[in-house]
Chain A
């Protein structure tokens, strides 16, 4: 069967089971958009290529399947660089297809030419520039294989226009060998000695903590984690990337550790004698000052990526495996710590003394952002998916939403990409149309990618956006208040410019505004009744509100600052 390169590309995506592509056409990718008309694959036409990338990420995080985005060359490709970098930092499986100028024009500074494989070399798991039309099926199959196996990540495939227009005899690789990846070995046999060593360490532990990272979600290990944690009775902390991996309602869950972590979670790690890292990577936002991080703890480090071992903290026992396989093996080997009674007693004291708190409603009527989040959560059905941008609202969402199941928290962790919230919510809703999807956003973040609500309206994707509008770039404002003597530099945005309600309406969405507690509950009620179009709510919140607890950048986790309400006079 003779196919054009463009047809072969679309057929390859069909072979990989792709159900949706987020994209925007242009000159170099134009030939591929023609056979797309005849394909069963849904295409979602975004308004900016960054939106396509973040939607693909949201889709991948909510479904566990790889997200697919397709854009043209040059600026189309550079516009999707941020989502690629974001997916790389958060190990999200993504396949990004970029058009490229014709093979003969490469290197001539042709119109809309850019070296996108060079640009994305450091932020993709791998990338391909296709140079032969017959290689299209192999490149696509390899891209999906690499993106989804081992430690997942983004893979970019750059396709010159002349190859899309050439013809080839259709084939598709049916074995891993045909992918021709002699240097790629993502799977390993679990080393039984590492399990034995871990069991021995666990047996001596009196103050262990299960430090649960994003890899636990990536490997689908929530059931194994629950079984292991309940049998061993060890306390659990879930990092920003692992929210939902272990139920927040579970009494063993201490919550999120790190710079804005729950006091008990941060302090339990600090005082632990054994830290069992499950797909976490000792990020600086978790460790704080590294030499002062959990100084008495021995480390058992479970990761599928062996480059994570000893990268930040010396490991006592490294277990190279998926989190699910490692937990199954540890459970089978009967890993059991000592009696944890005194440890739990201590932890429960911390929990009782320093729970997450926030102030009562302000006298001037501005909403507390934490209360808005708790109110949305209280009115949301179980299993609701929440996305967020990056900043204060993200930290509050992670702190005050109660996550009970995997795939319900969609956020930008490692890269900290403002503007991630709206498009990732749209992608999540596309992947999980059965679920309600809320985006907890900030006013600064919303302004970066809001135009994708036009996409959402046009494509019939009813997401709900809660803007916590404090008129500021709130996290930067917080740092300037605390560390720059309240010298506020370039952080004021205004609560009324733009008019978020009118903007929402102009994009075909329902726009609501809430200034008081009564208006807030009414707006949430209305939003929950609307299931055909996107809803945007402009919640007016207090700009003076700060995220606590907080460990200052570069400080030791021992120097955690609790909420002012919890400080002694």
Chain B
């Protein structure tokens, strides 16, 4: 049996992951068709981000990080390509990818933890975006590795909530993608 598709945050990026940048028609139900295909065929989604694409309002771009150990990448791409609403697929290998994601975390603080936490924020390149008497909310826009690292450092603090967006990616300049 295929493992459940994973749609959340983890510090365990699959060793053999690939990034598919999928241009789809912006129609209702398209995300369901894409997610349904992965579930049906036993392909694992590591993370997924979707937003309107640059070309026109007719299209959206879905960035899917797939676990290429769960199925041959070629099968995933070919089955995806058969969906009528999928217009184009770019396969960006991890070494050619510029990957970024956003992390938001709310940490409960007291007089003892504020100062070291401020250091963590400063050293990681994160920013404090909200504060009240008992907690702060911080954000980091960075590489998945930077987000992983910040998440590890926050283990020492009282984290109320932590969200990551899942990554988006573009090919590095000067590289080519297959599609």
Which positions in A face B, CB cutoff 8 Å? Answer: 117-118, 121-122, 125-126, 129, 146, 181-184, 305-307, 309-311
Contact = CB atoms under 8 A, between A and B. Distances in A.
Contacts of B75: 307, 310-311
A151 to B, nearest CB: 8
Nearest to A121: B36
Contacts, number: 40
Given A183-B85, A307-B82, A117 B29 contact: yes
A129 B82 contact: no
Interface string B28-48: 110011001100100000000
- Specify the main secondary structure of chain B where it touches its partner: mixed
A383 B32 CA distance: 45
B83 interface: yes
B11 to A, nearest CB: 32
23 contacts: A117-B29, A118-B32, A121-B29, A122-B40, A126-B84, A129-B28, A129-B29, A146-B84, A182-B87, A183-B24, A183-B25, A183-B83, A183-B86, A183-B88, A184-B84, A305-B82, A306-B78, A306-B81, A307-B75, A307-B78, A307-B79, A307-B81, A310-B75
A309 B75 CA distance: 9
B107 to A, nearest CB: 39
Contacts of B33: 121
B74 A182 contact: no
Nearest to B74: A310
Contacts of A184: 84
A307 B74 CA distance: 8
A153 B48 CA distance: 29
Contact of A122 (B36, B72, B74, B84): B36
A104 B104 CA distance: 38
A376 B175 CA distance: 66
Residue of A121, A122, A307, A309 with highest tally of chain B CB at under 10 A: A307
Contacts of B32: 118, 121
A117 B36 CA distance: 12
A517 to B, nearest CB: 50
B42 to A, nearest CB: 12
Interface of B: 24-25, 28-29, 32-33, 36-37, 40, 72, 74-75, 78-79, 81-88
B89 to A, nearest CB: 10
A307 B75 CA distance: 6
A269 B28 CA distance: 46
A126 B86 CA distance: 12
Contact of B84 (A118, A181, A307, A311): A181
Given A121-B29, A122-B36, 10 more contacts: A118-B32, A121-B33, A129-B29, A181-B84, A183-B88, A184-B84, A306-B78, A306-B81, A307-B79, A307-B81
Nearest to A181: B84
Nearest to A305: B82
Contacts of B87: 182-183
A319 to B, nearest CB: 15
B37 to A, nearest CB: 8
Nearest to B39: A122
Contacts of B25: 182-183
Contacts of A310: 72, 74-75
A129 B29 CA distance: 10
B77 to A, nearest CB: 9
B57 to A, nearest CB: 14
Contacts of B88: 183
Nearest to B29: A117
Contacts of A309: 78
Nearest to B82: A307
A309 B74 CA distance: 9
A56 to B, nearest CB: 21
A511 B85 CA distance: 51
